[in-house]
Amino acid sequence: MDIRDLNFKPDPADLLIVALGGTTANVAEYENGRATGNFVTRNGGTVRRVAGVSVALAGRGLDGVTVETSTAIDALAPGTVLKPAGEIEFTVRPTARAGFNGRPPSASLRVTAYFERLVPVGSVGSVVKRGGGSDA
């Protein structure tokens, strides 16, 4: 059996998303390795890649996760806590390369998190003052 991608839908209560300050950009659509001039859409909205966001799942930080959303946001203030809503899906894609010219083989996992909507629910400071919790 050849596994290309692993997709799973975590419980929203297990997620903590904090903006570290960043921007979003529309995700270009590709066909046969070439840009079509259109943007990727999902659930009726244009998919945007979000830079400067930290994601934790079940209390563990996910280093290097690519975050995508259909939320029409341009920038996120540092320290903003975001609550995911609607469709939530994580995709894990393995990659591997054979070793060449004396270099060892290498492998990695690429994780992409799609959140249909990202709703600002306060700042890190306000969540800490309230005592945290999953109802942030």
Per-residue pLDDT, 129: 77
Is residue 112 in some structural domain? yes
Per-residue pLDDT, 2: 54
**Mean pLDDT in each 10-residue stretch from start to end of the chain (136 residues)?**
77 93 91 94 93 93 93 88 95 86 88 94 81 54
Per-residue pLDDT, 1: 43
| Tokens 């909205």 sit on residue | 45
Across the chain, where does the E strand assignment appear?
A: 6-8, 15-19, 22-26, 28-31, 34-39, 41-42, 45-46, 48-50, 53-57, 60-61, 66-69, 75-76, 80-97, 106-123
CA 60 to chain centre: 14
**Angle CA(58)–CA(64)–CA(67) in degrees, nearest 5?**
75
Is residue 19 in some structural domain? yes
Is residue 56 in some structural domain? yes
**Do residues 75 and 25 touch, judged by C-beta distance below 8 A?**
no
Is residue 48 in some structural domain? yes
Is residue 129 in some structural domain? no
Range of the domain at 48: 6-124
**Do residues 75 and 48 touch, judged by C-beta distance below 8 A?**
no
Is residue 133 in some structural domain? no
**Do residues 112 and 91 touch, judged by C-beta distance below 8 A?**
yes
Total tally of structural domains belonging to the chain: 1
